[in-house]
Amino acid sequence: ISGNRSNVTSLFANDIYFALAKKDGVFGFNVYMGGKNTEVAQSADIFLKEGEVFDFFKALVEAFYLHGSRFSRSKTRIFHMIEEIGMDGLKAHIKSEYKREFESEGELILEKSNFSEFHKLKDGTFGFCYQTDFSRLSTNEIKSIADFVTKDNAEIRFGIDQNIYILSLKEPSTTLKSPAISDTIVACAGNLCPYAVWSIKDETSYLPLDKINEHRIQVGFSGCAKGCGRHRHTDIGLIGLKTNNFGDTDGGARIFLGALHSEGTSVGRQLFSMVPFVHLHKVVSLVIELFELSGHRDFEEYAKDILWNYSEDFLSLWVLANLETNRSVMLPKLDTMKSFEFEVSLLKSEFAELDFWQHVDESFFNAISYLSKKLWTIEGEDPHYKPKIQRTNFR
């Protein structure tokens, strides 16, 4: 539930989202249901006043308890209930418990905002964002924050974006200095969770943190497909996994790109099923460099205007071809998504000399597999691919 007009992080990934809205001059909440790690919540066309939210939520819980699936633990989400009986069917079950008529949705009050280190609040005081090390704090940091807040009679808020917010400052200044560069990145619990493969908070060191921070790019890094890092609901999303595709079993990340997350339009699409950690910095840096060349100032707008007019496989092969040639060739802007034949001709106009063309038939799938193995396989593990790739550890 959010009474905030600024979309700090996408809440459309939740099973239910009460979003700030206005109807007939009265503030309340529009209801969105059915979000999860791979889906965005959909509008239920319901507007609730502040005092109605609790009763509605009780009715939803009771309806889900009575009519939700019992056949599979993997499908105990509202999304699957909607998939089975439809949004109207779910609303009918809720209505029988709510015992009131629903109002149609109001005007959604939601805007994308980029927050600076200090932000002026409505009462004239200032808020300060203290960046944590992906939600980790040392004892010295905790003591320093506590001492500062006590001395200045300020308030502390722990944000869902893994940052700490200090409110009620009289001036936009503080003695607190965070060493982290993490305020647009959410990383899951990593090896503190039984489902994660790696220490995800440590593996963020493979990312170009300076560039991500410079452009305020939203990044979600999960340790498994369950998606606690909300990797499908950010500009760039990653899942830390194991792979033996390129030699010995080692760490790597699946990469997703271009979610239209601010208004819950679409989740991100897969760019690569696996990139070894040692190559992750170079791959993500290239993705950001292509964004810089486009002239856009916001990555989500870049995804909407450029990336979504190309197929997933084309984007994968375009990035790989740039890596192979050590180039950064900007993606042309298209009005709509074109045919496979058009994408082939565009690739040939820039990368006709590369040897992956023998693997392009009715799709780019085999060419992507060939070129990724050529670039990332360790010499000696697969003698078909040369030359040896120098492994670089960024930690």
Q: What are phi and psi for residue 226, nearest 5 degrees?
A: -65, -30
Q: How far apart are CA 244 and CA 223, in angstroms?
A: 17
Do domains 16-108 and 185-376 share one topology? The answer is yes
For the chain, the domains span 16-108, 118-169, 185-376
- Give the long-range contacts of residues 11-16, CB within 8 A, separation 24 or more: 12/40, 12/41, 12/233, 12/261, 12/263, 12/264, 13/37, 13/40, 13/41, 13/227, 13/230, 13/232, 13/233, 14/41, 15/41, 15/77, 15/78, 15/79, 16/41, 16/57, 16/60, 16/78
Say if CB 146 and CB 130 are below 8 A apart: no
- Could you read off the pLDDT of 174-200 as tens digits, one per residue? 999 888 888 899 999 998 898 888 899
Three-class DSSP category at 250:
strand
Task: Report the candidate in 168, 254, 252 with the shortest Cα–Cα distance to residue 203.
Answer: 252
The CATH number of 16-108 is: 3.30.413.10
From the options 3.40.50.1820, 3.90.230.10, 3.40.50.10470, 3.30.413.10, give the CATH code of 185-376.
3.30.413.10
- Could you read off the pLDDT of 234-268 as tens digits, one per residue? 999 999 998 888 888 788 999 999 999 999 999 99
- Could you read off the pLDDT of 117-141 as tens digits, one per residue? 898 888 999 999 999 999 999 999 9
- pTM for the full predicted model: 0.90
Q: 115-124, 151-160, 336-345, 377-386: which range is least confident on average? A: 377-386
